[in-house]
Amino acid sequence: MKKKFDLKDPKYRIPILLIIIGIGMIATWYYYVYAPNLEKINQLEQKVKAKQDTLRTIQALKPQLNMLREELQLAENKLDSLKSIFPDHKEIPRLIREITSVARATGITTTKFNPMPDVEKEYYVENHYNIAVSGGYHQLAEFFAFLANFTLIINLSSMHITTNPEYDPVPVTMGAVENGGETIVSQFEMTTFSSKK
């Protein structure tokens, strides 16, 4: 005996409706919950992979980090020493202090220190000063030797050395002339250099 399959029969209709509703709920869950989350998971996995690649690169370069830090420190030290030779800007107060200190140490008297207009070149600026000093012959030579050993690069030009018209030698015992005193006067142009910004 054959049984008829009738959808109007409540015996079949309710289970079939439950199956259709279940399939609909599963399809809805798949398209609105599972598929978007699966895409997010794939994106997160790609990000993790990229970050792992970056981490591997960092770990491979990590041994070089200390070497790079040492190189950076050496480069900064070299830059600082170059800045003392070739400063970023004109440093008149520092220059006056250094020249005054050298003049005192050598027994020279600075009678004039006039900053003159700067001359701009393509990559640097020449800072010119008109200077006059007076003192003894050997003290003047010592003064110039100290200038030659400044940390700044210094050029001296237009130098004139003459006897000091105000010098009056004082005779001492046995007819000798005193060696000290300001016997000569020197006037010159001093040039320092600074970087062009």
pLDDT in tens, 48-72: 999 999 988 888 887 788 888 888 8
Q: What is the CATH number of domain 92-195?
A: 3.30.70.60
pLDDT at 179 over 70: no
Any idea where the domains of the chain sit in the sequence? 1-85, 92-195
- The percent of residues in the chain predicted with pLDDT above 70, rounded, is 83
**For position 133, what pLDDT does the model report?**
92
Please state the rounded mean pLDDT for residues 79-98. 74
Please state the rounded mean pLDDT for residues 84-91. 68
- Please give the residue that has the higher pLDDT: either 101 or 12: 101
Say if pTM beats, i.e. exceeds, 0.75: no
Asked if residues 154 and 147 have their Cβ atoms less than 8 Å apart, the reply is yes
Angle, helix 137-148 to helix 92-106, in steps of 10 degrees: 140
pLDDT at 180 over 80: no
What SS3 class is residue 151? coil
**For position 172, what pLDDT does the model report?**
46
**For position 4, what pLDDT does the model report?**
66
Angle at 14 between CA 13 and CA 17, to 5 degrees: 85
CA distance 46 to 34: 18
pLDDT at 173 over 80: no
**For position 84, what pLDDT does the model report?**
65
Average pLDDT, the chain: 82
Please state the rounded mean pLDDT for residues 153-160. 89
Asked if residues 186 and 130 have their Cβ atoms less than 8 Å apart, the reply is no
Q: Which of 68-72, 141-145, 173-177 has the lowest mean pLDDT?
A: 173-177
Of the CA atoms within 13 Å of residue 125, those in its CB half-sphere come to: 14
Q: Which residues contact 21 (CB under 8 A, 6 or more apart)?
A: none
- The pLDDT confidence band at residue 188, using thresholds 50, 70 and 90, is very high
Token pair 């000063």 is at which residue?
129
Please state the rounded mean pLDDT for residues 150-179. 71
Tens digit of pLDDT for each residue in 9-47?
777 777 888 888 888 888 888 888 888 888 888 888 999
